[in-house]
């Protein structure tokens, strides 16, 4: 799987460790960098690539993960979940079809993030499950309210 990854300078060490881990798991990684202190720019670049299906999934990071998740979710077609535990990592995909995840380098350790990424990537959304009507409502809202 081709995975886009990016962060702000606060999360460079975490991003590099996660990128290496993704490669160890057999994934290709497109690194969007970590030099820009304005995290929305990097998060949006990753999200646009995910939404355009240039990469299959995205991983973004900043100090808390909150800023990059908010930023990524501004891009139509990008659905970013901020993860802090294994159950969320699994449900981000199974219940919410999240195509991106976010982490906070100052609040979640490297080994925990590796486990969360592994959990997130280990499952796939199954259409027509109990979450389908919820996601349909979300997608309908996005379609009706996105300015072109």
**Active-site annotation holds for 80:** no
Rounded to an integer, what is the distance from CA 102 to the centroid of its chain? Answer: 5
Distance, in Å, from the CA atom of 144 to the CA atom of 134, rounded to the nearest integer, reads 16
Please pick, among 44, 60, 61, 62, the residue that the annotation labels catalytic.
Answer: 62
DSSP string, 30-70: EE--S--S-HHHHHHHHHHHHHTTSSSEEEEEESSSHHHHH
What CA–CA distances, in Å, run from 22 to 29, 86, 148? 7, 17, 34
Q: What distance in Å separates the CA atoms of residue 105 and residue 108, rounded to the nearest whole number?
A: 6
Closest CA to 22 of 12, 34, 31: 31
- Catalytically active residues, by annotation: 62
């Amino acid at each position: 799987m081709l995975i886009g990854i990016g962060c702000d300078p606060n999360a460079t060490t975490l991003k590099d460790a996660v990128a290496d881990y993704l490669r160890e798991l057999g994934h290709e990684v497109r690194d969007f960098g970590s030099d820009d202190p304005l995290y929305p720019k990097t998060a949006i670049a990753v999200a646009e690539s995910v939404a355009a299906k240039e990469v299959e999934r995205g991983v973004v990071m900043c100090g808390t993960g909150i800023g990059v998740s908010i930023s990524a979710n501004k891009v139509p077609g990008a659905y970013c979940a901020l993860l802090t535990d294994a159950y969320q990592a699994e449900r981000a995909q199974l219940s919410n079809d999240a195509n991106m995840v976010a982490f906070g380098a100052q609040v979640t350790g490297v080994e925990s993030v590796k486990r969360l990424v592994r959990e997130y990537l280990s499952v796939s959304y199954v259409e027509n499950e109990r979450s389908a009507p919820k996601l349909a409502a979300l997608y309908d809202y996005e379609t009706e309210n996105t300015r072109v």
